[in-house]
């Protein structure tokens, strides 16, 4: 068995459930790379959900910034509607280990009914809104 190199890529498994339409594909954009270089994800049905996933080799780093995009057949791109994601790589991650990211699709606001307060509350990272 060969020892892993200290600067070996970090094997990263990503998955995100997202219901696409016919002809759409989900890709992962690492850092500031152009969408044309984004990594394609494969899809499969898991129960009632369509889950997009891939196993990727990322350059070694202490953290990663990434986002998911949807690309349709004509090539137009839809971004997630929030800031890019950031993940810190655990200092205890051994060479040759796999980093696994199980994400949820991000939307700018999350609506949740709180019966005792009435109405619908929207939450984002900065403020709470009531409707």
Is 88 domain-assigned? yes
Is 4 domain-assigned? no
- For 23, the domain range is 10-130
Is 5 domain-assigned? no
> For the ranges 50-54, 55-59, 122-126, which has the lowest average pLDDT?
122-126
Cα–Cα dist 71/40, whole Å:
10
Is 83 domain-assigned? yes
Is 54 domain-assigned? yes
CATH, residue 98: 2.60.40.10
Cα–Cα dist 130/102, whole Å:
30
Total domain count, the chain? 1
Is 23 domain-assigned? yes
pLDDT at position 56: 93
pLDDT at position 51: 94
pLDDT at position 82: 78
pTM of the model: 0.74
């Amino acid at each position: 068995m060969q020892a892993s190199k200290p600067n070996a890529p970090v094997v990263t498994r990503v998955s995100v459930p997202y219901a696409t339409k016919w002809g759409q594909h989900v890709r992962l954009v690492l850092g500031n790379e152009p969408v044309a270089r984004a990594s394609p994800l494969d899809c499969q049905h898991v129960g009632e959900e369509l889950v997009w996933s891939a196993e990727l080799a990322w350059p070694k780093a202490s953290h990663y910034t990434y986002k998911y995009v949807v690309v349709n057949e004509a090539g137009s791109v839809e971004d997630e509607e929030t800031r890019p994601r950031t993940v810190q790589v655990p200092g205890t991650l051994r060479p040759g280990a796999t980093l696994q990211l199980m994400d949820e699709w991000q939307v700018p606001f999350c609506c949740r009914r709180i019966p005792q307060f009435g109405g619908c509350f929207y939450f984002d990272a900065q403020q709470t809104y009531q409707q």
